[in-house]
Amino acid sequence: MSEFQLSLLTIGLIVVAGVYLYGLWQQWRYRRSTGRAQPADLSVPTSPAMPQATERIQDNDIDPLAAMAADSESSDSTADEVCGLLNEATDYFGTLLLKQPQPPEVLEALWQRRFDFGKSVHACGLNTASGLWERLIPESEQSYRAFRLGLQLVDRTGSVSELRLASFRDLLVDIAAELQVEVKLPPLDEALRRAQQLDRFCADVDQMIGINLLAGGDRKLFGSEVATAAERVGMNLQADGTFHLLDQRGATVFSLSASDGSAFQHHTLNQSRVDSLTLLLDIPRVSEPPRRFDEMVALARELEKALRLTMTDDQRVALNDGAIAQIRAQVAATADLMLTGHITPGSAQAARLFS
């Protein structure tokens, strides 16, 4: 083999290795942004894994999920959304019955440390004047007859750590002592067990479904082309650099991004160019996921036609009707599994757990 041929072979190996490493880097970026140990499946499924997940629920006998359903049915209808969702299935919390009405400023220790625990801290108060539970605002001048202080056990980054949960428990005990009241708190080991079980369940159903839209050959799309087509189907560019279709509550139904992860920016739309787009559906965070998937496919077909693209999966294989039906079955199975676990897709509780 000549020196020239060896050089060509070396260059070829370097290119292949570079492409491979770039692919690994992209996967790492996606896993990092999603947070869960099991990242979303963005390709056409070969065989849905939902039956195994269902068996796992039965084997583990996930009491927190049943408790969540029971608590949601019996929750105080006069409480605001956050306070009404606090329950032992999803939060470690204590209720402090005060000897006399107090303003939120007496919880100064909580306000100073509310970002120290790695999960959302929720503080609610029983308003003296209205008799309603409401979220506490540190600077509020209202007075309250009781406080309910909780730490969320699970979100998309996983379950709360034992160290942070213990630290939050100690903080509640200190606050109760300062206010000279009693507070009953669940045992730490029990709360940790519930958190880990709930997190395993959430990881099983934490799925995003993606449809890629690929330009043919060496053709690339200008950001301005994408923006025009996206706006025609009701999507708007948001601060995260992707286009979003929002529902009436302002929550995202679908998002459209550059497949390579680059962000679209208003001031550079005429300069930015991409060769493929990805339309995403976040199953746990939308109501009626199968119906939303049908809407996403219809929207993808509009973009496909407007921009002269081809709908593909993550392996850049064209999506036919059979593949789309298979993906829809996966979406429906995931939604059914969530309902089995007493979490309604698109609900306020789902928004908390999958944030």
pLDDT at 79 over 90: no
Tell me: do 191 and 239 sit in the same domain.
Answer: no
Structure tokens, 306: 């407007």
Looking at the chain, the whole-number percentage of residues with pLDDT higher than 70 is 77
Looking at the chain, the whole-number percentage of residues with pLDDT higher than 90 is 74
- CATH number at 142 reads 3.30.1400
Tell me: do 215 and 337 sit in the same domain.
Answer: yes
Q: Per DSSP, what are the bridge partners of residue 159?
A: 154
Q: Per DSSP, what are the bridge partners of residue 152?
A: 91
Tell me: do 107 and 123 sit in the same domain.
Answer: yes
Give domain status of residue 60, yes or no.
no
Tell me: do 161 and 263 sit in the same domain.
Answer: no
* Residue finishing a domain among 140, 174, 202: 202
Q: Which of 162-171, 280-289, 311-320 has the lowest mean pLDDT?
A: 311-320
Between 285 and 67, whose confidence is greater? 285
Separation of alpha carbons 39 and 30, rounded Å: 8
Tell me: do 217 and 347 sit in the same domain.
Answer: yes
Q: Tens digit of pLDDT for each residue in 4-39?
A: 555 555 555 554 445 444 444 444 444 444 455 343
pLDDT at 77 over 50: no
- Residue range(s) defining the domain that contains residue 98: 75-202
Tell me: do 176 and 88 sit in the same domain.
Answer: yes
Name the DSSP letter for residue 161. P
Q: Which of 194, 123, 195, 193 is nearest to 155 (CA)?
A: 195
Q: Determine phi and psi for 28, rounding to 5 degrees.
A: -60, -40
Tell me: do 194 and 88 sit in the same domain.
Answer: yes
Between 190 and 48, whose confidence is greater? 190
Tell me: do 246 and 180 sit in the same domain.
Answer: no
pLDDT for the residue 64? 55
pLDDT for the residue 314? 81
Give domain status of residue 25, yes or no.
no
Give domain status of residue 164, yes or no.
yes
Q: Which of 19-28, 100-109, 149-158 has the lowest mean pLDDT?
A: 19-28
Tally of domains in the chain: 2
pLDDT at 168 over 60: yes
Q: Which of 18-27, 43-52, 251-260, 261-270 has the lowest mean pLDDT?
A: 43-52
Tell me: do 123 and 236 sit in the same domain.
Answer: no
Average pLDDT, the chain: 84
- CATH number at 286 reads 3.30.1400.10
Give domain status of residue 26, yes or no.
no
